[in-house]
Every structure is written in C-alpha cells, then in structure tokens.
Structure 1
Amino acid sequence: MNWKSRFSQPVLLPLVSRWEKYPHRLWLLSALWLALLAGISVWLRLGSTGLLDETEPLFAEAARQMTVTGDWITPYFNEATRFDKPPLIYWLTAIAYQVVGVNEWAARFASAFAATGLAIFTLVTLRRFGLPRPAIQQSASSASADVTEPSRPTALWLSAWIGAALVVLNVQTIAWARIGVSDMLLNGCIGSALLAFFWGYAQPNQPQAQNRWYLAFYILSALAVLAKGPVGIVLPGLVILAFLLYTGTWRSVLGEMRLVRGSLVFLAIALPWYGLVIWANGADYIESFFGYHNVERFTRVVNNHSAPVWFYFAVVPLAFLPWSAYLPIAIARLRIWQLQRWRQQPRSTHLGLFALLWFAVIFGFFTIAVTKLPSYTIPLLPAAAILVGLFWSDQMTRPPGPRSKQSLSRGVWISHIANLGLILLLAAVVFYSPNWMGNEPEMPQLAELVRQSRITLWGSLIWLAVAFVELGLLLRRQSRWIWSVQLIGFLAFLLITLLPAMTIVDAQRQLPLRQLATTIVQVQQPEEPILMIGLRKPSLVFYTQRPITFIAALSDVPDQLKKLTRRLSRPRSKVRSLLLIGRPVKFEDAGITPDQYDTIADAGVFRLARITVPRRS
C-alpha cells in the first residue's frame, strides 16, 4: 500500500481498535484531550484581565457583598438590592472568594467550571450513546455486516472526542465561559439536566440506573432555576415534551420519571430560597424578578434589546464558529421526517434525535420571545456540538467506496465548500477588523494598538493556512480530516489573536478604571462621596469596595450637584468635598468648568477630580 492509499484510510480507527483492549488508556487519553482543550479555551489566563463593564462587576460585587454582610439570601450591589438573578452564581462566586480570595479568577470560576463540567458530561454521554448511525449498532450482531464497518466502540470514542471538543471550542462558549455572569452556569445546568434525562431514557431495562439519572435530572433542573429562574425548568421541560411526543413514548417515560417524587425533590431544592427572599423583600422582589426580568422579557422589549424575527438565524452561526457550516448537514442527515424509522430504533440510538429537538425547541422559544440577546442561545450550543460531533464521527468511520445516498454525498460536498468559503471570509474579516475599531470613545487608540501588535495579520494568516490545507484535503478527497485541521487552526487563532486581543482591549477599556479605583482608595477622605457622571461603570464599585453614585444623564448633573453641595456645606457636615469621575468632555457638557475642581489623576480617557465645597455660614 503506497503512502497515498494509506493516508486515505482513517488511521485513527486501527489505533483506537487496538486500544479497545485497554479502555483505561482511552479514558486517560480522553482526560488529557479535554484537559488540553478546556485548559486553553476556558482556563488559560482566566483572571488576567479586569472585570468587563457593565454586567460582570454587578455579579462579582453582589457575591462579595454576601461575604461581607453575611446575608446569603438578598443580593446587594452598591447599597441597593439586586433582584435581576437568583443566587446560585453569587453563592459559587462567594465560596470561590473565600477559598482563593477576591479576584477576577474567582469571579469567573463558576462560568469556567460549568463549561468544563458540561464538556466532560458530553464526552461521557457520547462515549455511551453517540453512535453516528444505526448501521454500526446492527453490525455488532450481524454476521452479514460489511467487514469494513468499524467497531461500535471506535465510533463511540470518535463521537465523544469530537463532540466534547466542539462544546468548548466555539466562539460563544469561549466568550461566556470567561465572564463571571450567570449565562454559562445556566447553560451548564440545563445541558447537564438534559443529558441526565437522556441517560435515564436510554436505559429502560435498567430501572435502578434509570431512577438515579432521572433524579439527577430533577436536581440539575432545580439548580438551573437557582441559576437564572423559571427558564431553568421551562426549557428542559419543553425539550423533553417535544422529544417524547415525537418518539411516542410520553406515557411510558413520564411514568418512569416518577413525576410526583421528582417534583418534590425539585421543589425542595429550588423553592426555599425563593420563599426566603420573598419573605425578606415582599412584593418588591416579586415585581422585579418575576414581573420585569421574566414575564416582560418574553412578552415585550426590555432595555431596548429588540431584534427582528430572523435575529437568531444570524446569531447562532456566528456563535458556533468555526463549525457552523456543518450544522445544516448534521441536522439533515438525521432525516427527522422519517418518524416511523426513529420510533422503531432502540432508545439508546436516539441521542442525535434528542440533540436535534433540543436545538430546535430552544431556538424556537427565543425566536418567539420579544426581548432578544445573543447570549440567550447559549443553551442550544451543546446540542449543536453533539449534532456536528456525530456528523464528523460518521465521516470518520464511514467505510470507503461509493455512497448509497448520492443526495447526502452532495450535501456533504456543499457543506465542505460552504465551510471553505466561511474560513476565507473569517480570514478577510480578521485582517480588516482594525478598520472597524475606534468607534468607542473609551478606546480611541485600540485600532492603532491592534495594528502595531499584528495579531490580526497573524490571525488572518492562520485562517488562510486552514483554508489552504482544507482545499488540499478536498482535492485529494481526504475531507474526513477537515475537522482536525479546523480544530488546530482555531486553537492557534485563540492563542495568537483572541487572547492577546482581550489583553489589549482590557488595557484600553478597563485598566484606567482600575487605576483610578486604586487612587480613590488612597485619596478618599472619610465619608467623602464619590460620583461618576456621563456613564455607569460598576467595576469601580468592585475595585474600590465603596458605594458610588452614578449620574448617567448629564442633564441631571447640575441639580444633583446642587443638592449634594448644599448638604456638604452645612455647618454640621464632617466632609467638605466630593470626588468626581468621568471623561473631561463630560465635565464640560455638564457645566463643570476646570476652575471648579482640582484634578487628582488622569487615566486613559477618564479623570478623577475633587470639588471642594465652602462652608455655609
């Protein structure tokens, strides 16, 4: 066999087949595989940049307040209650603070842990149930099966390795796993709950194991509700209902799930905190959390987060980069329209179908919702990873020779061409991206610094190299290796372009605020008020560990300053000055002239000043 024909064979298959006699080696290899990928994509330099305004510091400071006040029921930020989210993210972050200290790494630990845990659970699930096609299941017991058909364990290992890699190696997961907010924690809880349900569903002949997995589903769903509210049970419930209706198993499975017992377990975990926080805060909490942050977000536009109905058709492909081009064929190959075929298959072969309905239900749910944000689609990304992982496992293990389904072959070919075009588009976008920077007044030098660093040039070259290699594989009809080329290219892009870009953005946008926060701690006099005008940067509250008054509307600044200076000028007032933070141009727009304040420090585009108030006679 010459080198060309040898390369045309899936060399991973004989390697895995030989190691099947030593499963501990394959599990060790799997652990190292996930440790490498999650270590680079999620944990590497996790705490090297400051908290990102405006949302992340709200969570970080609310968790810190719990450690200070000892009140683990009512979240607070800047001396006011914060009812936006339930407490699970605050609790985990507060525990991390107590273990490793109050810092950025601890603030992001829960998100990184959730992403990693979900990837591990996905790998284990795919290793058990991730058959890329029923033929492999049948070949294990059929004497007439094609001898070129790979073994069942080989196909499962490939599904597990590829699918788990895609869980952590996509744009949106990397972004949200590195930010200390509740979105990735919700994703981890919902994704794990759905996978736990499938473990129970797929083992109808093992009642003890089935009961344990259904119990795990109820516990994880309760944690999802504690992570972000009712959506934590609504989404899994809708996915499971759609799946059971499609498979026609709803009567038997709902009986297996022991709904009464499960509901009691669910309520015992999820309900106590809600009861305590309502008891402590009454109608204020109910109206804010349930009314504003749940019902109103679904039924009307909140915080100007409106978008057209096709919004997520654009967001999801961007979120799932660089694997998006293969999502349509990964869905189409399942042939969901063949209802009877699916109903005749054993439950253990339904993972691909389950992932498809998981993806579709969550996509449809948030498409219907009036308020739209890119982060809302995070819970469907694990399903997309499973679907595409199964597709690539199918490509890796499909025996050579003419395809029996030419339409599918054409679909795969079209997907490869679309992926090649997408990679070339990424190369162009990355190369020209500095031309689109600089619109944010807080980072006026960003574009120039990015150009000087040449990270976008290197990033563009990486994607060009990926496209060149993929084109060569297509011409040699070795397309089964495209996923590995793309994975290596994405890791290189992450290390050479994305992570350095985050450092540059942090130095421009957030570092000046941290520097001023340090100065405030040094120069603030006892009880001296701190005001920020023209914008709201909650990170100042976290880094100063002091309350700050934010006056975003410049038209309100004169009246607010008059009231404050009148109070400070009273004879009994112990303090005669206030600290003012903002951009100098905002000072002028608010009618504050340089002769009215003393400049203490400038950092980036921000200025810290002190206004001294004369004593009133």
Structure 2
Amino acid sequence: MMTTRQRYYWLAAGVLLYALYYLFPIDYRLLWQPDETRYAEISREMLATREWIVPHFLGLRYFEKPIAGYWINALGQWLLGDSNFSVRFGAIFSTTLSGLLGCWLAWSLWRDRLISLLSGIIFLSAFLVYGVGTYAVLDPMITLWMTLAMCSFWWGAQATTPGGKAGGYLLLGVACGLGVMTKGFLALAVPVIGVLPWVIARRRWGEVLRWGWLSVVVAVLVVLPWGMAIARKEPDFWHYFFWVEHIQRFAMSNAQHKAPFWYYLPVFILGSLPWLGLLPGALRLGWKEQHNDRGALYLLGWIALPLLFFSIAKGKLVTYILPCFVPLALLMARYVVVVVRAHTPRALKMLRANGYINVLVGMVGSIAALALAPVFYSRPPLWDVPELYKCFLALLAFMVWGLMGWLATRNVARRWPLAVLCPLGVALVFGLAVPERIMASKTPQQLIALTREPLQESRYVLSNSVGVAAGLAWELKRSDILLYSSRGELQYGLSYPDSEGRFVTAHEFAGWLAQHRQEGRISLVLRIDNEAQLESLPVPDNRYILGRMALLEYLPQ
C-alpha cells in the first residue's frame, strides 16, 4: 500500500505532467485543416448566430454529425476566446474526464490507489490517446460518453440496492443519449457489444432485461428534444444523417476511408507506446483473471468487441478505437503493480523490455531526423536549410525518448515510471518542429497571418479547399467564404436552393470575376501542387505563395 507521502508524490507528479502535456504546448500549435479548422468554424458560427439546433458550416447546412460536440466546442470558445487552445478545449476536457472515469473504475475494481492513479497516467500518456486527445475532433467526446456508459453499467451491475441499480442504468441512458447526440447511433456500439462477454459469462441477462428499459427510455428522452427540434426546422436531417453517415460510411462498398480488416492492429500496437512492453503481460493477466469477480473479463470485452466491430466496418479511421484505450490502461496499471510488488527477476523482465522498446523508438526517431536533415539528404529534404533548428528539435525530442527509456531499464523496479516521460519531448516541440512544407500545406493560419490586411478588405474570398476555407472563416470571422472548383464535403449543403452563388466552378471563374470585380477586392486562396496550376487563371494584381498555398488578389475595376 502507498504511504501518504507517496500518494502526494504521485499526485503532484501527475498534475505537473498533465500541465506539460495537455496545457502548456497546445496553444502554439497552429490549427490543422481540414478537421481542426472545420470544428473551430462550426462552433464559431454557432456562437455568432445563436443557432443552437441546426449545425452550419460556412453558412451552409452541415448534417454530417449531430449537435452535442459542437456545443462543447462552442463552450470552449465562449469561455476562452479565440485561441488554438480554446478550439481544442473540448477534446482535452473530454480526454481528461475519460481518464478520471478510468481512475474511478480502477478503484471500484481493485480498491488500490496506486492502480487507480496509474490507470489515469497510462491512459493520458498513451501515444494514440495524446495525439487524438489534443486534436480538435469529436472522437475524444464520444470516448467520454462511452467510458461513462461502461462505468455506469458496472456501477449498476455491482449495486446491491434498487436505488443503486436505478442510478447506474439511468446514468447509462444519459451517456448513450449524449453519445448519439455527439456522433450518431454508432455511439451505441461500444456499450452494447462491449458488455456482452461479461453479461453472457456471468448470466446477467435477467437483470439487464429488467433494468435496461430504464436506460433506453432515458436515452430517448435525452435525444428527443433536439431530435424533434431539428426535424421541425430541417425535415431532411435524419434521412441524410442515418443513410449517408451511417449505412453508406460503414457498410457500403463506396464507404469513406476504406481500409483492410487488419488496419487497427498496428494502430493498437503503436498507440500503446510508451507502454507497449506492458501490452502482452496485461492482456495475459486479464485473461488469467477473467473468471474472478474483479472485472478482468469486463475490461477484455470492452477492448476486444469494439475493436472487432470497427475492424469489420468498411470505413476506418485511427480515431475510432480510442475508447478501447481506457480499459487497456486499467489492465496495464493492474499488471505493472502486480509485477512490481512481486519483485522477481522474471516478473520485472517485461518492465525492462518496455524500457528497451522505448530506447529503440528513440533511436529510430533520432536516426530518421538526422537522415532527413538537409545536410545529409540529397533529394528535396523534409526540412529546408533555414529550418535546421527544427531538425535539431526533432532530434532532441527523440533523444529524450530514448534516454528516458534507457534510464527506465536501470534499477527497473524503481525507475519504470520514467516511461511516462518518453513522449514529453515530442509533445513539447511538435508545434515548433513540423517542417515548413507541411505547415504551409496543412495550417492556413500561416498564410492568413502574412496576408491578413488584403483578406480582411476583400469583398469576396474564395478557396478550392474546404479546410482552408474553414481556416479563413475562423480567422477572419466571416462565414461567407465561397468555394471554388471543388465542393468537397459541403456538396450536400450546396444543393439547397438558398445556397446558390456559394460555389464557382473553374470554368465559370473568369466570367464570375469580370462580373463581381467592380464590387470590391477579390481574394482567391488555393491549395496547389505546383505553381503551374496558376497559369490557367486570370492574371492577378498581386500574388502570394507560401509552400502549397497561394493567394491571388484581384483589385476592383
């Protein structure tokens, strides 16, 4: 058992690490398109228009997701203003709460403060969790609701009084309802299939049938007010959202983001860094303890069934399996505490192996940073010569990873926690070390900062990229950015009659320009592969090029 002094030490270390990972480096990372700029702009428009029912993106109807995630993002911008951190507030807030719920569940299972605290630390420092949890997408929020659902079911299942069971199943319904309002009906997949192995093995069907109706009723009541409101304002929403965003995306042959069945295997493995060495032992110990009442089978089902479900689905994204990392963190924490307390050479071997894995990651990253440096790489380098300092920062970050891994192999029984410091260097320097050629392509804020005055004075602003258009709208605080040449994900919103004039084809542009140029300055912001793409366009009065982004300025005539 931990002493009071040890508990305070671990708590203080956890708070400091949390600040270094999740607070300090977030604001100086520019927003990446298309995801971060999209969610930033949708929530900004929600605050500006006070339209809390129907999501709009660049002033157009946007029915790809329900409303709750945008509410959370809008809350971040309302509380913290216009900043990169405020855009990512929803993801960070949700990831943090998911980690705290994991700590609660670990305490409920094992009544061990060290396992409980380590569960949160391992979860928040896992590579996939950190990467997605500090990136402005909706998956951290759906992970929060699914974690709350799984914790609520466990609470209800372990309760010995009718009031306790009612409370657990009621909260389960709230979590499922909020999940549906954040990302749709697939939010129900994790809690429904995740509990199946435990329910079947423990023969708890009768209890689930007796109390499950309460969860269903509560979930319906959570969704119903907004569901009826948007059906009244936009009758086509539910048809589009269910058919296109659910059936087509996940099951049909033309699903988005198609990937093979094994896609999530490397994601799961690499996402477990810097704790990858604990993965085999954690799963083995969980399987060994599946027959006891401490919930090992519950955690294994929570990992395996959603992972299988998303592997079968046609459309796949890295972020979909984020909810699986909460139970994985609990199993890893349980395993590492058992190993450390056993203190046998065989038991500590896996901890040492984890350290050597991190040494290897640090070495590979360092070698890659050196090999891609402009002084060694003969082809167009990842970093240009003026960016040697970025190459040095990347090298330093991976050297820290390797060094922490090596230190963790020395006196492994005491130093194994140093693994949590391995990704810290990457987390701190990522926003500063990204090569300019990538920044110029993925972060429109750079070009906007250099050309803000002509952009702000433009009567019309057009872009051939939805992500870039979203960045322009968020930075300039205007939702009337026009789309040029490509409709992208806004094809459905542009199909409405009241959206006429919001899209200009490449063929129409010269005539459109001649007609509208007399109204004021026109700015065309493009993502390009090379400058030759600009030759077919009317000659601009001014031209600015930054990497793969270009601004063509047409003055009034």
Are 1:581 and 2:525 counterparts?
yes
Alpha carbons 1:536, 1:552 under 8 Å: kept: no
**Counterpart pick for 2:88 among 95, 103, 108:** 108
Cα pair 1:120 1:164 within 8 Å, conserved: yes
Q: Which residue of structure 2 aligns with residue 263 of structure 1? A: 216
Shift of residue 503, structure 1, vs aligned partner: 9.7
Give the equivalent residue in structure 2 for 1:251.
Answer: 206
CA contact (8 A) 1:450 1:501 kept: no
Residue equivalent to 2:422: 489
Matched-pair contact (CA < 8 Å) for 2:409–2:416 = no
1:529 counterpart residue number:
460
Superposed CA deviations along residues 391-419 of structure 1, whole A, max 9, x for unmatched, are 11111223x569xxxxxx58x74x45653
Contact (CA 8 Å) 1:513, 1:540: kept in 2 or not? no
Aligned mates of 2:254, 2:455 — CA distance in 1: 36
Counterpart secondary structure, 1:610? strand
Partner of 1:4: none
Whole-angstrom distance in 2 between the partners of 1:127 and 1:502? 40
The count of residues paired between Structure 1 and Structure 2 equals 533
User: Is the Cα contact below 8 Å between 1:127 and 1:159 reproduced in 2?
Assistant: yes
Counterpart in the other structure of 1:274: 227
Which residue, 201, 206, 220 being the options, matches 2:157? 201
> In 1, Cα distance between the equivalents of 2:423 and 2:446?
31
| Corresponding letter in the other structure for 1:530 | V
The residue correspondences of 1:456-495 to structure 2 (distance < 5 A) are 456-473=394-411, 479-481=412-414, 483-495=416-428
Output the CA distance in 1 between the equivalents of 2:402 and 2:92.
30
Q: Pick from 126, 129, 135 the counterpart of residue 173 of structure 1.
A: 129
1:125 alignment partner AA = L
Give deviations 1:528-553, integer Å, cap 9, x for gaps. Answer: 22222478512112112232223356
Structure 2: how far apart are the matches of 1:585 and 1:197?
51
Change (3 A) 1:27 1:218: farther
SS state of the match for residue 579, structure 1? strand
- Residue 452 of structure 2 is aligned with which of 493, 518, 533? 518
Change (3 A) 1:58 1:559: same
Look up the match of 2:492: none
SS of 1:607's equivalent?
A: strand
- The alignment partner of 2:195 has SS state of helix
> Alignment partner for residue 429 of structure 1, among 364, 379, 398?
364
Match of 2:473 in 1: 541
CA deviation vs aligned residue, 1:425-450 (integer Å, no higher than 9, x gap): 312331133346999xx996468626
> Is this contact kept in 2: 1:58–1:77, CA < 8 A?
yes
CA distance in 2, matches of 1:209, 1:535: 48
2:328 maps to which of 378, 384, 391: 384
Stretches of structure 1 lacking an aligned partner (at least 5 in a row)? 1-12, 20-24, 131-152, 403-408, 474-478
Distance 1:373 1:534 in 2: 21
Three-state SS of the structure 2 residue aligned to 1:71 is coil
CA distance in 2, matches of 1:586, 1:463: 37
| 3-state SS, counterpart of residue 63 of structure 2 | coil
The one of 278, 296, 300 aligned to 1:356: 300
Question: In 1, are the aligned partners of 2:101 and 2:148 still within 8 Å (CA)?
Answer: yes
- Is residue 543–residue 551 contact of structure 2 (8 Å, CA) maintained in 1? yes
Q: CA distance change for structure 1 residues 481 and 95 in 2, over 3 Å: closer, same or farther? A: same
Alignment-derived partner of residue 313 in structure 2: 369
Contact 2:197 2:297 in 1 (8 A): no
8 Å contact from structure 2 (residues 352, 408) kept in 1: no
CA displacement at 1:30 relative to structure 2: 6.3
Deviations 1:268-288 (A, max 9, x none): 1123222222222222x2343
| SS across alignment from 1:74 | coil
Q: Match for residue 66 of structure 1?
A: 46
Change (3 A) 1:270 1:26: farther
The 3 A distance-change label for structure 1 pair 314 and 542 is same
Report the equivalent of 2:493: none
Residue of structure 1 equivalent to 2:275: 323
534 and 102 in structure 1: CA distance in 2 versus 1, 3 angstrom threshold: closer
1:122 aligns with 2:102: yes
Aligned to 1:40: 20
Post-superposition offset of 1:241: 2.4
CA-to-aligned-CA distance 1:209-244 (integer Å, 9 cap, x gap): 333222222211211111111122222111122320
Indicate how the Cα distance of structure 1 residues 113 and 452 shifts in structure 2: closer, same or farther if over 3 A, else same: closer
- 1:269-310 Cα deviation digits (max 9, x unpaired): 123222222222222x23432112111121135675122211
The CA deviation at 1:603 is 4.5
* 1:124 partner letter: W
| TM-score, normalised relative to structure 2 | 0.86
Does the 8 Å contact 2:28/2:431 carry over to 1? no
Match of 2:257 among 280, 286, 305: 305
Once the two structures are TM-superposed, the CA of residue 208 in structure 1 deviates from its matched residue by: 2.8
Task: Evaluate the alpha carbon distance shift between residue 566 and residue 456 of structure 1 in structure 2; reply closer, same or farther with a 3 A threshold.
Answer: closer
Structure 1 counterpart SS, 2:261:
coil
Deviation at 1:64, TM superposition (A): 1.1
Residue 22 of structure 1 is matched in structure 2 by: none
Shift of 1:247: 2.1
- Give 1:357 shift: 0.7
Match of 1:7 in 2: none
1:217 corresponds in structure 2 to 172
Q: What is the aligned partner in structure 1 of residue 197 from structure 2?
A: 242
Q: Secondary structure at the match of 1:582?
A: strand
Supply the distance in 1 between the matched residues of 2:373 and 2:416 (Cα, whole angstroms).
Answer: 31
Mapped to 2, the partners of 1:231 and 1:447 lie a distance apart of 47
Counterpart of 1:89 in structure 2 is 69
Q: Does 1:291 align with 2:243?
A: yes
- Note if contact 1:396-1:480 (Cα within 8 Å) is conserved in structure 2: yes
Please tell me the residue identity of whatever aligns with 2:513.
T
Give unpaired runs (5+ residues) of structure 2. 488-503
Structure 2 residue 187 is matched with structure 1 residue 232:
yes
Residues 274 and 422, structure 2, Cα contact 8 Å, conserved in 1: no
Offset at residue 91 of structure 1 (A): 0.9
Query: Structure 1 residues 231 and 38 mapped into 2: Cα distance closer, same or farther (>3 Å)?
Result: farther
Contact 1:533–1:586 (Cα < 8 Å) also in 2: no
Instruction: Supply the distance in 2 between the matched residues of 1:520 and 1:250 (Cα, whole angstroms).
Output: 65
Match of 1:149 in 2: none
Q: Which moved more, 1:486-495 or 1:181-190?
A: 486-495
Quote how far apart the aligned CAs of 1:113 are.
Answer: 0.7
Q: Answer with 305-314 or 422-431: which moved more.
A: 422-431
Asked if the contact 1:73/1:276 (under 8 Å) is kept, the reply is yes
**Counterpart Cα distance in 1 of 2:430 and 2:30:** 16
Q: Which amino acid aligns with 2:247?
A: V
Distance, in Å, in 2 between the alignment partners of 1:460 and 1:48 is: 20
> What secondary structure is seen at the aligned counterpart in 2 of 1:334?
helix
Q: 2 CA distance for matches of 1:297 and 1:539?
A: 26
Residue 329 of structure 1: SS of its match in structure 2? Answer: helix
Task: Give the alignment's TM-score, normalised by structure 1.
Answer: 0.78
Q: Which residue of 1 aligns with 2:79?
A: 99
Distance 1:396 1:46, change over 3 A: same
Distance of 2:208 and 2:337 partners within structure 1: 29
Maintained 8 Å contact 1:532/1:582: yes
Note if contact 2:31-2:37 (Cα within 8 Å) is conserved in structure 1.
yes
Following the alignment from structure 2 to structure 1, what is the Cα–Cα distance between the partners of residues 115 and 258?
Answer: 38
CA distance in 1, matches of 2:440, 2:464: 22
Q: Secondary structure at the match of 1:102?
A: coil
Point out the structure with max Rg over C-alpha: 1
**8 Å Cα contact 1:126-1:163 kept in structure 2:** yes
Distance 1:388 1:482 in 2: 16
In 2, Cα distance between the equivalents of 1:262 and 1:558? Answer: 52
Does structure 2 retain, via aligned residues, the 8 Å contact 1:96–1:109?
A: yes
